[in-house]
Amino acid sequence: MTAESAPAWHTAPEEEGTWDLRLYVAGRSPKSLQAIVNLQRLCEEYLPGRYTIELVDLLEEPQLAEGHQIVAIPTLVRKLPEPMRKIIGDLSNTERTLVGLDLKRRSDII
């Protein structure tokens, strides 16, 4: 009915919802850059139009590391859909990244 729900109706089935993602990196380290590239590629491929990515550079905002309990770099946090998930690493392992994003069942890759 509302203006916000209208695009969701068009772009995705209701049961799938939107992926609210946040990627923590530390400057322009190779792993960080690799993670950014990998994430964008995967989202375009599996979640076209149904995702948002917020990029947090901890070298610029170090206080966020503590607040969001970040230890490993890079860390991808799936805020939505719930429950919250953390995927660590440069996301070069596509299978595991998809499991972490809930786009693939764990049993499928074992």
Partner 1 sequence: MHSQQTNGRSLPKSRTGIRGLDEITGGGLPEGRTTLVCGGPGCGKTLLAAEFLVRGAQEFDEPGVFMTFEETTAELAANVASLGFDLEQLTREGRIHVDHVLVERHQIEEAGEFDLEGLFVRLGHGIRKVGAKRVAVDTVETLFGGLPNPGILRAELKRLFHWLKDQGVTAVITGEQGDGTLLTRHGLEEYVSDCVIILDHRAEGQMSTRRLRIVKYRGSSHGTNEYPFIIGERGFTVMPITSARLDHEATDERISSGMADLDEMLEGKGYYRASSILISGTAGTGKTTSCGHFVDAACRRGERALYFAFEESPAQIARNLRSVGIDLKPHVDSGLLRFHASRPTLHGLETHLAMILHDVQEFEPAAVVLDPITSLLTTGANNEVRSMVTRLIDSLKSHGITGLFTSLNSAGDADLEQTDADVSSLIDTWLLLRDVELNGERNRVLYVLKSRGMAHSNQLREFLLTPQGVQLAPAYLGPSGVLTGSSRVQQEAVVRAEQAERRQELEQVRRRLEQKRAETGAQIVALQAQLEGVEAEFKAVLDAEAAREARLLAAEAVLARSRRQTTEPEQPVPAGSGS
Contact footprint for partner 1 (CB under 8 A): 24, 26, 29, 31, 34-35, 38, 58-59, 62-63, 65-66, 69-76, 83-94, 96-97, 99-100
Prior bond of 74 cis (ω within 30°)? yes
**Which residue lies nearer to partner 1 by CB, 5 or 107?**
107
**Which residue lies nearer to partner 1 by CB, 6 or 72?**
72
Task: Write the DSSP string, 31-48.
Answer: HHHHHHHHHHHHHHHHST
Task: Write the DSSP string, 53-65.
Answer: EEEEETTT-THHH
**Which residue lies nearer to partner 1 by CB, 50 or 85?**
85
In the complex, minimum distance from the CB of residue 82 to partner 1, in angstroms, rounded to a whole number:
12
In the complex, minimum distance from the CB of residue 12 to partner 1, in angstroms, rounded to a whole number:
23
In this structure, what token pair is assigned to residue 105?
A: 């069942």
Tell me the torsion sign for CA atoms 102, 49, 59, 31.
positive
In the complex, minimum distance from the CB of residue 10 to partner 1, in angstroms, rounded to a whole number:
31
